[in-house]
Every structure is written in C-alpha cells, then in structure tokens.
Amino acid sequence: MNDEDYGRGDWVKAGHKWGADTYINEGDSMFKPVLTLILVLIFVGCLLPQVHAGSRLVNIRQIDYGAYPCNSQYPGLSASGQQVAFESDCNWAGNNALRNNEIFVMEIDGSNPVQVTSGATSDNPYLPSCNAALDASGKRLAFWSSADLIPGQNTDGNSDIFRAYADGTGLMQLTQTVGGGGGYAAHCCPAIDYAGRTIVFASYFDPTNENADLGHGELWIVNWDGSHLSRLTNTPFGGSSEWPVFDGNGRVYFASGANWTGENPYGWIEIFRIDPQTGEVEQLSHLMSFIGGYWIGRMGVNASGRKVIFPMRTRDNLPGIPHLELFLLDTKSREIAQLTQTESGRGCFTASMSASGKRVAYTCEVPGQPQNAGYRVFIADVVY
C-alpha cells in the first residue's frame, strides 16, 4: 500500500497477521496420496481465516487540530460512524482559551464542533474531562471529569462519571467519589450502550459503599438517569477489569488479567465479554499465544460483537517507551490482524468502531510535532 492510501506520509503502514501453524509428519510413502489430500483440505480450511486476517486500514484522514499545536485523543464513534466525541486541549469551538482538556463532539470531517464541557477556571486552568463515548444515535455521551462541572458537586477534584447530550445540554454527574483523587485514581473510562440508556465504567473504588479503595479494577453499571448504580464484575483474585465497551446486544467487552474462565492461568491481559443479564463471562482472545500481548487499552466493538479493534503493547517491546499498535480480533475465527505499524514513541493507543465495523477512529502520536502536541485523532475505513 502506498502513501496515498493513508493520506499522511509513511509513518503508518498496513500490518500483517498471526495465526496457527499446522505440522504433519509425512509418514510412509504408501500414505502420500492420503496425506496430499489431507494437506489440500488443511490448506483450504486455513484459507478463509487468512482472508479475514488480511484486514487493513484505508482512506485514513486526520481530523484537523486548529490554528496552534494541541492534542486531541480518545475518540468515540457513533454507530453510523459519522459523529465522533473526543477529549482535546484545542480551541475547536472558540470557548477553550485556557486550553483545558475538554470534551468535544463533531462530524468526522471536522465540521460542526460542539464543546460539551467547560471545566477550567482562571485559578486552576487544568481540570480535565476525558474518555468520551457516544451512543448509537450520536446524541448522548458519557465521560469522566475531575472538574466541578455542576458547581458544588465535584469540588474535591475526583474523577467522576458524567453524562450529557451531544449539544452540551443535560449534564449530570452520575457518581460522587469520596477519597481518591483526580486523573484515573477514582472512576474512569465509561462507555454507553447503543440505546443510550446504560453506562458502564471502570473503577478501583466502590461507588456504592462510600468509595472504599478496592485495590483492583472492577466494572460498574448505571442507568442514564443515575439510577440503579451497581457492580457488574466480581473479578477473580489477582486481576483487574478495565476499558469496557458495549456491542449492539448490550454485552460488555473488557480487558482483564484475571483467570475468569480457567483459560488464563498466568494472568496475561486478555479480552473478555460479559453478559450483564446473566453474568456469564467468555474469554475471547489468547494474545500471549499469538503475539505476546502484554497491555491492552481502550477498544472498539462492532454491533454484532464479531470485530474488536484494540491497542496493544507486546512483550517484544517491553524496554523503554510503551509502544502500542492497533490490532483487530475476529471473535468467531479468533484470527488477529495488526492494522498499524508506527514510528512514533507511544504509537496508537485508543480506538473505537462503528456498528458495521467498517469505520474506526483512533489516536496516534505523530512524530515531528511540537512537544506535548503530538496526539491526533484519525478516522479510517477497514477493508476485510
């Protein structure tokens, strides 16, 4: 694939796939005809997952970042793939002169930007709002913030979960954290279901029990109106559960190092799925056996749950800066395709996906940019 396919130079290239190899002893010569037939059948059987694993990104374009160097990251796509919500310290809509990290929603071509939050004050110019996620309609979103967005409700600066409409109205604080601190110390990383009725988020605290420090990450679930806040996961000992996202059937996908189903005895970070109605958990990936998966970030899932895009750091690059690339998991065939190969220090580290699975949004660190201004949001189409 040439540079024109990507639209931004040669720092992101199509990747390659990992699958299972099959070995057969040839045996005695009298069995060669039979073995030849077996090998042909194996080749045909392996052909279909290889076609899937040829997935790649095309038509990649960067959302313009404005008149001065700034950062935009952690995008969340609507189901149609036409709207995107993200966090940014850019002055997209003319209301972010203090360059605080705020939540914005816009069309994927960069038009109609709306600044949803205004958390900064002159006394404290950095009170970030982060990790925005959209429902299927693109009209409702969830995010976390350490700002006192509704005066008097978050004066301690903890990272609490909020919801709002994409036009900036309907702001509501859904959790009231006591203890902990800003950033990721309390509640974070929310996702909203397709219907816009339920929000799931991760926390190392217990929001239902005076925010006791659990010492490990769990998933929590709450309704759009703030009712029925409850714990979704009871993670097995020694692990945490993080980075949740819904599919179109209301199932929640998440990253965890726990041995949920007996398939992860060594505690590698893998992708799991839980049904909130039944509590049934399924392990979807076996990344260590494929490519040495070590750390997984925010992921995206299509409506059916067949495709999962996720950023991952592998054990091949443990020393130095945590380098992340985007991968695609087919939850039926369990094939994994690498979608990016970057040259930047941190790489590509967040992702989301449209309902069809044919469009994605993600963040990459772009080399050669001014210090602290190298994170950009990209939109791309996926070819399977």
Q: Where are the domains of the chain?
A: 3-21+31-383
In the chain, % of residues over pLDDT 90: 62
Indicate yes or no: pTM above 0.75: yes
Band (371; pLDDT cuts 50, 70, 90): low
Among the residue ranges 160-164, 169-173, 209-213, 298-302, the one predicted with the least confidence is: 209-213
Most confidently modeled range among 122-126, 188-192, 345-349:
188-192
Each residue of 254-275: pLDDT tens digit? 999 999 999 999 999 999 999 9
Q: What pLDDT score was predicted for residue 25?
A: 35
pLDDT confidence band for 177 (50 / 70 / 90): confident
Confidence at 67, pLDDT banded by 50, 70, 90: low
pLDDT at 319: 64
- Mean pLDDT, residues 243-254 taken together: 98
Mean of pLDDT values over 10-24: 34
Question: What's the mean per-residue pLDDT of the chain?
Answer: 83
Lowest mean pLDDT among 230-234, 299-303, 365-369: 365-369
Residue 297: is its pLDDT beyond 60? yes
| CATH classification code of 3-21+31-383 | 2.120.10.30
**Structure confidence by residue, pLDDT tens digits, 214-242:** 889 999 999 999 999 999 999 999 899 99
Q: What pLDDT is stored for residue 344 in this prediction?
A: 66
Residue of 86, 80, 138, 158 whose CA lies nearest to 355? 80
pLDDT tens, residue by residue, 35-54: 454 444 443 344 333 334 48
